[in-house]
Amino acid sequence: QTVVTQEPSFSVSPGGTVTLTCGLSSGSVSSGYYPSWYQQTPGQAPRTLIYNTNSRSSGVPDRFSGSILGNKAALTITGAQADDASTYYCVLYMGSGISVFGGGTKLTVL
């Protein structure tokens, strides 16, 4: 069974930079998994931030960026703002319509 791993929580100071990661329980994450990232605040539907490793979805500020770092996908927030406090989910596409979500990273900005 494929398990996608994310840090359960992270904290960043306002104006600071934070990098959240997305790994595989066995193996490396590559662009071939088309990593995507979603932001969700309580009571709201998820919002697409990043797709295809590093492409920003329409309307997403350029302080959000995606990449592959080592053997993981990464989401970097540069110049964090208070309203970036959310839970961030990584998704890897396994092919044949099957996607696997990571457990999510709850980001605190303080």
Partner 1 sequence: EVQLVEAGGGLVQPGGSLRLSCAASGFTFSSYAMSWIRQAPGKGLEWVSFISGRGDSTYYADPVKGRFTISRDNSKNTLYLQMSSLRAEDTAVYYCARGPTYCSSTSCYNFDNWGQGTLVTVSS
Question: CB of 23: closest distance to partner 1 in angstroms?
Answer: 15
For tokens 């990571």, the residue is: 102
* Residue 65 vs 87, nearer CB to partner 1: 87
Give the side-chain half-sphere CA count within 13 A for 92. 25
Using alpha carbons, list the distances in angstroms from residue 96 to 4, 33, 85, 93.
Answer: 17, 12, 33, 9
Quick one: tokens of 14?
């306002």
* Residue 57 vs 67, nearer CB to partner 1: 57
* Residue 15 vs 61, nearer CB to partner 1: 61
Question: CB of 46: closest distance to partner 1 in angstroms?
Answer: 6
Which residues form the interface with partner 1 (CB under 8 A)?
A: 1, 34, 36, 38, 40, 45-48, 51-52, 55, 57-58, 87, 89, 91, 93, 96-104
* Measured CA angle at 35 (ends 30, 36), to 5 deg: 165
